[in-house]
Amino acid sequence: MIANNLFVATILFAASAAGVHGGLASSPIGRQLAIFSFDDASSAANWGSQVLELKQMYLKQDEGARKAVAALYEQWQAAFAKYDDREGTKVDMSPSQRMEAFVSNLWSVAETNVRNPEKKSKYWQSMNRFADIDFATFSRHYLTPIEPDFEDIDIIDIDFKPVNFIECLDWDAKGKLTPVKNQGACGSCWAFSAAAAAESNYLIRNGQTYASNPIDLSEQQLVDCVNAPRTRVDGSSMTSGGCSGGRSWEAMEFIYKYGVYPESKYPYTASDGTCQLDFLLSKELKGKTATSGASSPGWGRLAPSSDPEAIKTALHDQTLSHYIRVEQPFQLYDGGIFDTPCTSSGINHATLYYGYCDSKLENFGIVDTFKIKNSWGSGWGENGKMRLEKTAGDGICEAQKYVWVDEPAEWTSKISKVPRPLLSG
């Protein structure tokens, strides 16, 4: 604590002498706090304790502390300028509101990180690319709130035969995972999740890697086109809502039935657009008639649901689109194994399962984890990815409840009526 007090006192002296636009922001002292990602829980906790010392002075209206925080915000803005989504899809916050959110998140992240060494959490946070957005605003732009009404839908459940699990299955390490993308301030996670699954599973099934075949499908085409008058295999209308949220299984069925453009021919805009009806039908990614002779929709819900062993089994064959509930801790995740249960129910985001692993974590021993790929750019999490603790039942934040496989899985004839959310972003 003495060392921390000395550190903060030095910062405050430098801040008072230099001012916000003086030498602090580029000085070694300023850079010491301007750490926006951590390699482990210990370094995150050390940073957190220093920030909490600064907080004490800040709350006492100390001018030097306020200048130090302002300088830190300047450095953060410079570091994350390349991830800025405000052009074209503006986040509705004023500069003062952003600064206020940054300061609030700064204290929250510091408090989260200092808990790690006390075995209270298996992950740590950072002042990542979303650090100047409060969670309510973040939810409006990057998630889709769940509507209270649900509807029934015919879903083909998929049964997978048990396999001998290995210590770690990682399709990224095998070269089958395509790069992390950035959905921007558009609730299009459902399209990114489905496209990511289609990309990786094509590589898996054809014995290719991303290095040998840099496949890149158009999420924008899914955003624009997975809606009426396009129809599902059973003749019903597709009803996804673009940036307002959608259904990853409808996107899978669209790819299966119609095909999809590559990104280069139908680039992403992070906004709703008019469907280009003359889109190219991809012969490689279009689906085929199911072996039973019936017309397969190209997807199915993993069965049994809410079963982590079924998810691990399915991952031996493919990556998996799935839903999850996102709350504030998820927004600022930086590394480690995410293990914070949600305080409410109802999914509002879609990501991609790409592996599982028995992870060894300091102070916790071996922790069973799933690996997920997100669509918020590489400035979030572990280069855009997350390790999520595997639990029984629905999982952390319902991440094991709604899981989808795509064609050509081993179809069964079992049809079930299950509730599903109206929209998810």
Q: List the catalytic residues.
A: 189, 349, 374
Side-chain half-sphere of 215: how many Cα atoms within 13 Å?
A: 25
Rounded Cα distance, 190 and 349, in Å: 7
Helices (H) and strands (E) in the chain, counts: 11, 13
Single out the residue of 385, 356, 425 nearest to residue 123, CA to CA.
Answer: 385
* 3-class state of residue 58 by DSSP: helix
**Distances from the Cα of 18 to the Cαs of 8, 22, 30, 229, in angstroms?**
15, 4, 11, 62
Quote the crossing angle between the two packed helices 2-18 and 41-59, to the nearest 10°: 60
* Cα–Cα distance for residue pair 388/391, rounded to 1 Å: 9
Contact 189, 138 (CB under 8 A): no
Residue 412 contacts residue 158 (beta carbons within 8 Å): yes
Measured distance CA(10)–CA(21) in Å, rounded: 17
The residues, any chain, with a CB within 8 Å of residue 172's CB and separated by 6 or more, are 354, 355, 371, 373, 385
Closest C-alpha to 322, from 376, 394, 412: 394
Which backbone phi and psi does 174 adopt, to 5 degrees? Answer: -85, 0
390 class by beta-carbon count within 10 Å (0-12 exposed, 13-18 middle, 19+ buried):
buried
Query: Which phi and psi angles does 352 have, rounded to 5°?
Result: -130, 125
What helix, strand, coil percent values describe the chain, rounded to 5?
Answer: 35, 20, 45
